[in-house]
Structure 1
Amino acid sequence: MSLFHFKQFVIDQENCPMKINTDGVLLGASANLENVKSVLDIGTGTGVIALMLAQRSHDILIDAIDIDHLAFEKANQNFENSLFHQQLKAHHHSFLEYFDLNPSKKYDLIVSNPPYFLNALKSPKANNNISKHTNEQFFIDLISKAKNHLNPSGNLTLIVPIDISLMLQNLAPSYHLFPINCIKIKSYPDKAHIRHIISFSDEKPLELIFEDFCIYSSQSVYSLQYQALLKNFFTIF
């Protein structure tokens, strides 16, 4: 089925190159919205992260951008069909184009579930390459441009594999962004971590704060952590 029903909105993901996935919903449910009034969602795909953020806070306004035209159209459709349509605006741009077109625009929070297959074998489907593959320059551009479009004390929050998280933690301080919080995600209690939700700010912390998060408690059984995080969104909880 192309329709994915959440408790307060529905996502149509037909023909969208990046479908709803665990990474996206974890970011949408966990990104820190304290003192946040403006958000930019880079690579919005179906728009699920933006919609989750809009559901969590009715006071925020969200710009959601995607370089893929099919994704932009689908996100725009999902926004218009939601209860939160007045909070959401879709744009068909890469983040570099968007920032060039809006040089003075600043946000309290920039989020992204970015492409993460660095220098990997490419898919024969062009739109899958756009949504899933990238290179190191992408992240250098993302960090450097995001810094210029964050309000003071604003956050850049990404969900990425561990190796990319470590690369970003080393890279970001060169652009005056500092890692402040890292949620370390694993699938099962006895498995290695597979993702980081890593947040950066222009305010250097005394130390990087780590949190642990486990998706499953046992085979096909969601952990209490996961259920608590997604209970306001998923109809199964």
Structure 2
Amino acid sequence: MPFSFKQFHIDDSRCGMPVSTDGVMLGAWANIKQSNTILDIGAGSGLLTLMAAQRAEQLAQTAAGLTSNAVKIVAVELDDLAAQDCLDNIANSPWAEMIEFHHGAIQDFSAQHLAQCQAKRSPLFDSIICNPPYFDNGPQSTQQQRATARHTDSLSFSELLKHIELLLAPHGAASLILPVESEARFTGALTQTSLAISKRVSISTVSNKPPRRLLLELKHQAKIESTEHSSLVISDPSGQYSQQMIALCREFYLKL
């Protein structure tokens, strides 16, 4: 279903995973400060890419000597139909010139980009954002696109983290969102890399419910002194967005 934000529009009609609260929270929270190069892994409809572009432009307007023209965002998407949505949404946005799109697997993009880095034609990424597949068992959707987008058959945590580790600059940060029940598997895969969690936000739908999602920021271990823990509640008991949620997402949602 098409979805309009304050500064851009998303048509996700061909995408396996539609616009979601998870994606909006991640896009608003992801650490892209002082980032000249940003990578969106599994871009889908382009939501995270366009949120990063909007934020990069806003950051440039408040930072002396920095312009959004200096920022390059790369979106990588494997699925053919989602790629069509992503390309259309980028082209119809105010930031098309800032964004480069790659249609293919992150494994192939990673190999190509690392070769360019070795030839000193491209830098590693200051920021990586990803709303990854997270189910590795249980029933899969009968809609193949949605099953691919949600299940790790197409991209395991180990495979994803390997490429984040390779593509993330030494000073960089990667931002992801996961269901709470996937945390153990994710952190198990994380121990096989040089990355560690620098920030962990537990998210509850309402204040009296246990956390259901986690926002995670990863950095190379050498850059981490300790993990910062916090929490976020989406709605108050009356069903209205909490002040935390409003503060996080007010630059995007039309009615905030």
TM-score range, shorter-chain basis?
over 0.9
Q: Which amino acid aligns with 2:234?
A: I
Deviation at 1:94, TM superposition (A): 1.5
Deviation at 1:140, TM superposition (A): 0.4
Matched, 1:92 2:103: yes
Residues 118 and 136, structure 1, Cα contact 8 Å, conserved in 2: no
- TM-score normalised by length of structure 1: 0.94
* Cα distance in 1 for residues equivalent to 2:147 and 2:175: 23
Aligned position for 2:48: 49
* Cα distance in 2 for residues equivalent to 1:64 and 1:9: 16
RCO greater where, 1 or 2, for CA within 8 Å and sep 6 or more? 2
Matches within 5 A, 1:181-192: 181-192=199-210
Q: 1:20 to 1:137 in 2, by over 3 A?
A: closer
Q: Which amino acid aligns with 1:13?
A: D
Aligned-residue sequence identity (percent) comes to 29
Residues 131 and 178, structure 2, Cα contact 8 Å, conserved in 1: yes
Aligned position for 1:110: 128
Matched, 1:195 2:213: yes
Q: What per-residue deviation string (whole Å, max 9, x for no partner) do you get for residues 3-41 of structure 1?
A: 211110111112221100011000100011222111111
Deviation at 1:165, TM superposition (A): 2.6
Q: Runs of 4+ in structure 1 displaced over 3 angstroms?
A: none
Q: 1:39 to 1:137 in 2, by over 3 A?
A: closer
Residues 109 and 150, structure 1, Cα contact 8 Å, conserved in 2: yes
Deviation at 1:137, TM superposition (A): 6.7
* Cα distance in 1 for residues equivalent to 2:75 and 2:238: 35
Residues 147 and 176, structure 1, Cα contact 8 Å, conserved in 2: yes
Aligned position for 2:74: 63
Q: How many residues align?
A: 236
The one of 65, 74, 99 equivalent to 2:85 is: 74
Matched, 1:31 2:30: yes
Q: Which amino acid aligns with 2:74?
A: D
Q: Which amino acid aligns with 2:245?
A: Y
> How much is the aligned-residue C-alpha RMSD, in angstroms?
1.6
| Local SS of the residue matching 2:192 | helix
- TM-score normalised by length of structure 2: 0.87
Residues 183 and 197, structure 1, Cα contact 8 Å, conserved in 2: yes
* Cα distance in 1 for residues equivalent to 2:32 and 2:93: 20
* Cα distance in 1 for residues equivalent to 2:12 and 2:189: 34
Residues 206 and 234, structure 2, Cα contact 8 Å, conserved in 1: yes
Matches within 5 A, 1:1-237: 2-58=1-57, 59=68, 60-103=71-114, 104=117, 106-135=124-153, 138-204=156-222, 205-237=224-256
* Cα distance in 1 for residues equivalent to 2:198 and 2:51: 23
Deviation at 1:135, TM superposition (A): 4.7
* Cα distance in 1 for residues equivalent to 2:10 and 2:153: 29
Residues 18 and 128, structure 1, Cα contact 8 Å, conserved in 2: yes
